[in-house]
Structure 1
Amino acid sequence: MQFLKTLFWVLLAVIVVLFASRNWADVTLNLWGDIQADIKVPILLLIAVLIGFLPTWLIQRARIWSLNRRLGALERSRAAPVTAPPLEAEEEAPAL
């Protein structure tokens, strides 16, 4: 199974490299006002993917943080020492 996983990532990397090398051209972005920016197509796509990935990653990290806090609270409440009831004074038996 590890071989298939490695093969998948290698094929994906080859496809990305081929795409980037074939499309290495400038694209002009019209920003606000009269500002324009020239950027390469693969870099533009990488920026777009990262911008789309960021909210999902932040939500996941927040959820993991929340679950870790809840788990820690449960572990602390479970590990809290239980106080034993006070021992009653034992009646001493008369010495013979």
Structure 2
Amino acid sequence: MQVIRTIVWVVVLIALLLFSLNNWTTVEVKIWEGLVWETRLPALVILSFLLGLVPMWLRHMAGHWRMKRRIAALEVLTRQPSSGLSSTQLDAASAAETPEN
């Protein structure tokens, strides 16, 4: 699995490098009336991608962290002995309550 992951990352980075080399042009981004940002196209594309990715990644990690905490709390609960009666205690209690003739 690690090999496939490495291959995918290498392919993505090579594609990004080829995109950057083929589109190395200056782009003007007009933010407000008097404010113009001149940048290269690959930087603009990468920044736009990260602006969309980072909030969703943070939300995913928060959910992952919350589920880990929930699982850990449930595991602690299963390790503690319950205050209720076990099945053998219930059998003994029901046998004691039934009158014998």
**CA shift for structure 1 position 14:** 2.2
Q: 1:25 to 1:63 in 2, by over 3 A?
A: same
SS, match of residue 33 in structure 2? coil
Q: Name which of structure 1's ranges 56-65 and 9-18 shifts more when overlaid on structure 2.
A: 9-18
1:26 CA displacement = 1.0
C-alpha deviations, 1:13-51, integer Å up to 9, x for none? 222211101111111110123101101100100000001
What amino acid sits opposite 1:10 in the alignment? V
What RMSD in Å do the two structures reach over aligned CA positions?
Answer: 2.4
Deviations 1:41-78 (A, max 9, x none): 00100000001101210121111111011111101111
Alpha-carbon separation, structure 2, partners of 1:19 and 1:51:
19
Q: Which moved more, 1:21-30 or 1:10-19?
A: 10-19
Identity %: 31
Measure the CA separation in 2 of the matches of 1:72 and 1:2.
27
Greater helix share, structure number: 2
- The equivalent of 1:91 in structure 2 is none
1:79 corresponds to 2:79: yes
* TM-score normalized with structure 1 length: 0.71
